[in-house]
Amino acid sequence: MKFKKGIFLFLALLLPIGIFVFLKLFGKNEFAVEALYQKDYPKVLTGCQKIDKLPYFVPDSVLDRVNTRGDSLAVIFFGSLEGEQLNQYKRVLADAVVDDITVINLEVSDRATLWKRCVFFLGDSLDVAMVDAKGTIRGNYLAGDRDDIDRLLTEIAIILKKY
C-alpha cells in the first residue's frame, strides 16, 4: 500500500515538472499589440475621404512631414499641451530618450487638425496616436489621462519587446 502511494506521489510531482520543462523548451511567451485598421475600416469623420483599401497605412507624405527620422515608433500629440497633458507628454518624452522612439507635438493648425481627423482618425476626445515605421497606426490615446498614457508606455514596451 505504501508503495502505491509513493508512486502516485512521484507521478503527481513529475507531471508539473514535465509541463514546466516542456513549456520552457518549446513555449514562447510573447505579447502583441495589434495594429489598427488592418481588417476593419476606420470610422471616417465628416469632411474626410473614405478609405477604400485595407490594410490602412499612414501616407508616406504625412510621415515625412512629421519627421519620424526612421525610428521604429512615433508618438504624435495633437494640440497645445497644458496641465496634465503636458505632464504626460514629459513622461513619454523621458521614456523615448532611452528607446528608438520619436515623440512629436503638432500644435493646433489647419494641417494638424486635418491629419488628426482624416489620417489618424482621432475624434474630438482622442489626441495621441502611435505609428510604427511602416506607417501602421498602433494605438490612439487621450493625452490628459494617466491610465491611457500608462497603456501607451506599456504598449511601447511590448512592441519593442522590453518586458
Instruction: Let me know whether 25 and 64 are in one domain.
Output: no
Using one digit for the tens of pLDDT, what is the confidence trace for 95-124?
Answer: 776 667 888 888 888 888 888 888 888 887
What is the per-residue pLDDT for 98? 63
Instruction: Let me know whether 16 and 69 are in one domain.
Output: no
Please indicate, yes or no, whether the overall pTM of this predicted structure exceeds 0.85. no
Residue 9 located in a structural domain? yes
H/E stretch holding 97: helix 84-98
Q: Is 91 exposed, middle or buried (0-12, 13-18, 19+ CB in 10 A)?
A: middle
For the chain, the domain total comes to 2
Question: Residue type at 63?
Answer: L
Instruction: Let me know whether 89 and 139 are in one domain.
Output: yes
**How far apart (Å, rounded) are the C-alpha atoms in residues 102 and 67?**
8
pLDDT higher than 60, residue 163? no
Maximum distance among all Cα pairs of the chain, rounded to whole angstroms: 84
Instruction: Let me know whether 69 and 108 are in one domain.
Output: yes
Q: Across-strand partners of 36?
A: none
DSSP 134: T
